[in-house]
């Protein structure tokens, strides 16, 4: 049962809703600079290495913060950490809008990565204490379903707003939107009374550290980590940095088509998330099969799109959209794996280990893709082509193959037995 089971139903639903909407704001922040990369490149005279650096720094901060944030969630509670993350995200958006030069954008992306890192694990923990156990998988999936619409907002409305007004105005509106979400969340979460997600509130710092080490020693944490890598890394690298540029300069889509394409990803993901959430309840073997199937689907579709002679046919891009779309919801099943194999008192710390997986993989993918493009002589987005992307994406495909092998080996060793 939910730990807020004695609270009014409307309050539990409100906690659920604001946890999801907070992640929507985090995704808006995560994807805003990649969606507006062409505008940013002209405005700030950015090169390919500069564009890659933003994604690398953002995900590096995100991945490095996961375990410390997990400790904070267990010690301070999801409410405090989530609200702090929203405030940091708003500050990062203001800095992007009004900052001048490459250095200001770097600082803004580091702040965006930190705020993003604080929101998601907090939202997962708040939903776990607000909803009954049987609804937790669907509740977790709903975070991703709602959150991924942030990518739609940055892909079309944000670009239109910047075109109609200005770069500072567009990002000021983004910051204001995040501030409104933070204010609403503060009001609703304050009504919970004592935050039940504070599982380590009475522990000393040394005890919290020992619990973190214990979470990292759990084989279930690394089983879930590998699941997160092979499902989330390609999707994250696509939406954070290279996706819009690949669609424009590799696949040859115009801005309107790219907007529709990016809109289709969360729409398909919404359906996939609901289906996956229902399918995995009480079925650990089904969960494992879904993760393997999604990883294979991504390998096959990326191979199809990259090998096919240009211009890339529409059906191949549709298959790629589906593969990317299901990657997000499938990655959230990693937290169900963690919940099954790791003690509840270590939940947020184990989630921090798990969440590092996909974003570490995305970090490596973004860096190596940018490095491979630069090595082939592509200095700016105008130099990109499908021929260059075919070589640049090889490291990502290799990482998927290696990650899938590790996941299958761990699945056989650890077994599907629930905790």
Chunk the chain into consecutive blocks of 10 residues (it has 419) and report each block's average pLDDT, rounded to whole numbers: 70 90 92 83 80 81 83 85 96 93 90 92 87 77 81 82 93 95 92 77 66 75 90 86 86 83 83 80 80 94 91 91 90 83 72 82 87 85 88 93 92 67
In a domain, 341, yes or no: yes
Spatial CA neighbour of 128 closest among 178, 76, 74:
74
Cα–Cα distance measured from residue 294 to residue 284, given in angstroms and rounded to the nearest whole number: 16
- What is the structure's pLDDT at 203? 61
Number of folded domains that form the chain: 1
Using alpha carbons, list the distances in angstroms from residue 146 to 40, 78, 143, 272, 414.
27, 19, 6, 13, 32
CA atoms of 329 and 337, how far apart (whole Å): 14
Residue with tokens 């270590």: 346
Q: Report d(CA 46, CA 54) in Å as an integer.
A: 11
181 phi and psi, to 5 degrees? -60, -45
Residue 73 lies in a domain: yes
Give a yes or no: residue 238 inside a domain: yes
Kindly state the DSSP code that residue 249 receives in the 8-state scheme. Answer: I
Residues with Cβ within 8 Å of 219's Cβ and at least 6 positions away in sequence, in order, are 341, 410, 413, 414
The verdict on residue 3 lying in a domain is no
How far apart CA 50 and CA 245 sit, in angstroms, is 14
Give the H/E segment covering residue 349: helix 347-375
Q: Which domain holds residue 33?
A: 9-195+204-414
- Spatial contact of 125 and 73, defined as CB atoms under 8 Å apart: yes
Annotate 384-406 with b (16+ C-beta within 10 A) or e (fewer). bebebbeebbebbbebbeebbeb
Residue 419 belongs to some domain of the structure: no
Q: Is 190 exposed, middle or buried (0-12, 13-18, 19+ CB in 10 A)?
A: exposed
Strands (DSSP E) contained in 214-323 are none
Report pTM: 0.74
CATH number for the domain harbouring residue 379? 1.20.1250.20
Q: How far is residue 169 from each of residues 93, 96, 172, 255, 288, measured CA to CA in Å?
A: 11, 11, 5, 21, 45
pLDDT at residue 72, as a whole number: 85
Q: How far apart are CA 235 and CA 249, in angstroms?
A: 18
Chain centroid to CA 194: how far?
29
Dist. CA 245–CA 161, nearest whole Å: 20
pLDDT of residue 366: 85
At 1 the pLDDT is 44
pLDDT value of position 93: 95
User: Looking at residue 195, what is its pLDDT?
Assistant: 78
pLDDT of residue 42: 84
Domain presence at residue 343: yes
Q: How far is CA 62 from the centre of its chain?
A: 10
Q: Is residue 270 part of a domain?
A: yes
Task: Give, in degrees to the nearest 5, the angle at Cα 30 between 321 and 182.
Answer: 125
Contact 67, 97 (CB under 8 A): no
- 298 lies in some domain: yes
User: For residue 69, what pLDDT is reported?
Assistant: 87
- Close Cβ partners of 361 (under 8 Å, ≥ 6 residues apart): 229, 230, 232, 233, 236, 237, 399, 403
């Amino acid at each position: 049962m939910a730990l807020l089971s004695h609270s009014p139903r409307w309050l539990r639903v409100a906690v659920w809703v604001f946890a999801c909407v907070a992640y929507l704001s985090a995704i808006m922040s995560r994807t805003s600079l990649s969606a507006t990369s062409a505008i940013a490149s002209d405005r700030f005279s950015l090169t390919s290495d500069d564009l890659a650096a933003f994604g690398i720094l953002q995900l590096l901060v995100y991945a490095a913060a996961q375990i410390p944030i997990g400790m904070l969630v267990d010690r301070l509670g999801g409410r405090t950490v989530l609200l702090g993350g929203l405030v940091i995200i708003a500050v990062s958006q203001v800095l992007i809008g009004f900052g001048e030069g490459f250095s200001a954008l770097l600082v803004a992306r580091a702040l965006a990565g930190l705020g993003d890192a604080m929101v998601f694990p907090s939202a997962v923990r708040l939903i776990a204490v607000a909803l009954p156990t049987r609804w937790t998988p669907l509740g977790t999936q709903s975070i991703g379903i709602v959150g991924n619409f942030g990518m739609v907002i940055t892909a079309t409305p944000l670009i239109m707003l910047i075109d109609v007004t200005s770069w500072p105005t567009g990002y000021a509106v983004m910051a204001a939107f995040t501030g409104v979400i933070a204010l609403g969340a503060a009001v609703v979460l304050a009504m919970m009374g004592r935050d039940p997600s504070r599982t380590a509130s009475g522990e000393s710092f040394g005890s919290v550290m020992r619990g973190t080490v214990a979470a990292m020693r759990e084989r279930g944490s690394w089983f879930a980590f590998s699941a997160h890598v092979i499902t989330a890394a390609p999707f994250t690298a696509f939406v954070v940095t290279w996706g819009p540029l690949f669609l424009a300069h590799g696949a040859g889509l115009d801005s309107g088509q790219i907007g529709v394409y990016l809109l289709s990803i969360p729409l398909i993901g919404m359906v996939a998330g609901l289906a996956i959430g229902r399918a995995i309840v009480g079925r650990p073997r089904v969960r494992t099969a879904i993760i393997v199937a999604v990883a294979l689907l991504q390998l096959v579709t990326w191979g199809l799109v990259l090998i096919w002679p240009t211009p890339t046919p529409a059906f191949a891009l549709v298959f790629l959209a589906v593969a990317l779309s299901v990657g997000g919801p499938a990655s959230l099943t990693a937290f169900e794996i963690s919940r099954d194999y790791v003690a509840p008192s270590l939940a947020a710390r184990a989630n921090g280990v798990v969440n590092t997986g996909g974003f570490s993989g995305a970090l490596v993918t973004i860096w190596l893709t940018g490095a491979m493009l630069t090595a082939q002589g592509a200095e700016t987005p105008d130099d990109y082509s499908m021929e260059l992307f075919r070589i640049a994406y090889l490291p990502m495909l290799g990482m998927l193959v290696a990650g899938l092998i590790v996941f299958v080996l761990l699945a056989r060793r650890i077994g599907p037995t629930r905790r």
